[in-house]
Structure 1
Amino acid sequence: MGMTSALYVGSVAHRRLRPKSHRLRYRIFALLLDLDELPTLDRKLRVFSLGRFNLFGFNPQDHLFARSGDLRGEVEAVLLDAGLEAKGGAIRLLTMPRILGYGFNPLSIFFCYRVDGALQAILYEVHNTFGQRHCYLFPVGTEGRVLRHACAKQFYVSPFMAMDMAYSFRIKPPDEDYAISISVADEDGDMLFATQRLSREALDDRALIRVFLSHPLLTLKVIAGIHYEALLIWLKGVGLHVRPPPPGRAITVVANKNREKESLSCQI
């Protein structure tokens, strides 16, 4: 049986509507990593290493709570605390790897499956450029191939966006392709649309070298691009919002509409 882990290549785009219009579009790639396959990837791939320096690398402590490095155990603890099935199902992470030792991911996504193979939850992990992170967990029902969910904003990301806003997600989990769109709205309506569209490729050394050459130093360009686009927005006259303290809880668990109506929060 072939591995689930794969390379995904495509683009990300943002369209800001208010108070000044602004657009951006960049080519990107990401890895879909089945957490159980990480040791195999470490052995088989020459240009990818687990927890060590290489052309491409993955460090489990870059994600969630940076504790022991047992990423599966940490995700299972989140699922268990939220009342979901926690043992035995696949956990797959869509994220950008470290490149030459450097990594920054504005958004990484864990797809959490039950033992029977059904998707039971999506865990969004958001990092800002101030060294902070926060997660949103959405239990999944029987919505179909394209999932929709929404929640109130809990975590400061952009200095040009207020906290009193709401997110709406539309996501197609990765198979031969992957897509997500996120709208950000306040009481006056939509303010920003973000989209990401990627296509699956085999994950091997040749493919990794190819994307390194076609997307050189991607993770460094991501952080540079964030600051460059911020400068352009600021030059357009968009004001800054003061950064509040991070949420007191590391995870926001947003109740499935078929289970409960209210939102919950848990501390892991």
Structure 2
Amino acid sequence: MNSVYPCTIAHVRTTPSRYALRHRTYLWLIDPDRPPRLPAVLRPLARFDARDHFGGSAPTIRAGLERFLATRGIELADGTVTMLTHARVLGHVFNPLTVYWCRRSDGTPLCVVAEVHNTYGERHCYLLRPDADGRAEAVKELYVSPFFPVDGGYRMRLPEPGPRLDLTIHLERHGARPFTSTVRGSRLPATAASLLRLAVRHPLSTLAVSAAIRLHGVRLYLRRTPVQPRPRHHAQKGMQ
């Protein structure tokens, strides 16, 4: 079940002026209870640590997810989880978006959790109930970009990946869509050979993602894009 997806992440802003970026990287689709078993020499290139998700204090990623869901009256019990994420690479990780597809023990969909991290070290999880096409909506609750306030909502399409990875997130404000993010990619088996090829093609991939976000932020600032004040962030229940 574990797979890796070479992919292109695209952002398009339409206000106050149009600005677009594209970044190539790779994401992992894993069972957090059974992550890829890699040769010891390659493990620094792909680590999946509980400290990088939810409150960072749970003993495992699944335990953090179960605690978050339990505070919202949802019991995962013997259900299964599929997780799309960046791995920790050479000690560094930055995960703008991690998605968890949760199913009951009989295989029927239970819920989806979209975990968002910003560049200020803050994180927020959105509990979603997508329709059969993977479409869901959520009220925006985390300051992500310094050029958008914390208002409006998200309209998402998050189908569980198969041979293709195809995610879309729209920010909606005042009846318009000022920002759209897409993630597109194709599946590869999670093998040592696949990881080596991708690590050579995208060295220090998570550091590159973090640096790219900051670089484009500087470009937008130099274009005199108005900066919005960042409100104080309060940790969610179940995320401590």
Q: Which runs of 5+ in 1 are unaligned?
A: 252-266
- Aligned match for 1:16, one of 13, 16, 20: 13
User: TM-score, normalized by length of structure 1?
Assistant: 0.84
Regions of 4+ moved over 6 Å = none
1-side partners of 2:41 and 2:125: how far apart? Answer: 30
- Secondary structure in structure 1 of the residue aligned to 2:154: strand
- Aligned match for 1:204, one of 191, 215, 218: 191
| AA partner of residue 45 (structure 1) | P
Preserved contact between residue 56 and residue 101 of structure 1 (Cα < 8 Å): no
Aligned to 1:125: 115
Preserved contact between residue 124 and residue 137 of structure 1 (Cα < 8 Å): yes
Aligned to 1:28: 25
Deviation by residue 1:123-170 (Cα, 9 ceiling, x = unmatched): 111111111111101134xx32x2111121111111001112211101
Q: Does 1:100 align with 2:90?
A: yes
Preserved contact between residue 134 and residue 250 of structure 1 (Cα < 8 Å): no
1-side partners of 2:71 and 2:42: how far apart? Answer: 33
- Secondary structure in structure 1 of the residue aligned to 2:76: coil
Aligned to 2:55: 65
1-side partners of 2:172 and 2:94: how far apart? Answer: 25
Q: Does 1:149 align with 2:136?
A: yes
The percentage of counterpart residues that share the same residue type is 31
- Aligned match for 1:246, one of 212, 218, 233: 233
Preserved contact between residue 48 and residue 57 of structure 1 (Cα < 8 Å): no
1-side partners of 2:45 and 2:140: how far apart? Answer: 35
Deviation by residue 1:220-249 (Cα, 9 ceiling, x = unmatched): 111110111001111111110111011352
2-side partners of 1:226 and 1:118: how far apart? Answer: 36
1-side partners of 2:144 and 2:41: how far apart? Answer: 32
- Aligned match for 1:45, one of 39, 57, 60: 39
Which moved further from structure 2: 26-35 or 79-88?
79-88
Q: Does 1:233 align with 2:223?
A: no
Deviation by residue 1:79-110 (Cα, 9 ceiling, x = unmatched): 33333342111112111111111111111111
- Secondary structure in structure 1 of the residue aligned to 2:47: strand
Preserved contact between residue 165 and residue 186 of structure 1 (Cα < 8 Å): yes
Preserved contact between residue 68 and residue 237 of structure 2 (Cα < 8 Å): no
Preserved contact between residue 140 and residue 152 of structure 2 (Cα < 8 Å): yes
| AA partner of residue 58 (structure 1) | F
- Aligned match for 2:154, one of 152, 164, 167: 167
2-side partners of 1:59 and 1:168: how far apart? Answer: 29
- Secondary structure in structure 1 of the residue aligned to 2:59: coil
- Secondary structure in structure 1 of the residue aligned to 2:68: helix
- Secondary structure in structure 2 of the residue aligned to 1:167: strand
How far apart are 1:174 and its partner, in Å? Answer: 1.1
CA root-mean-square deviation: 1.7
How far apart are 1:250 and its partner, in Å? Answer: 4.5
How far apart are 1:204 and its partner, in Å? Answer: 0.8
**Larger RCO (alpha carbons 8 Å, 6+ apart):** 2
Q: Size of the alignment, in residue pairs?
A: 240
Preserved contact between residue 5 and residue 187 of structure 2 (Cα < 8 Å): yes
Preserved contact between residue 30 and residue 82 of structure 2 (Cα < 8 Å): yes
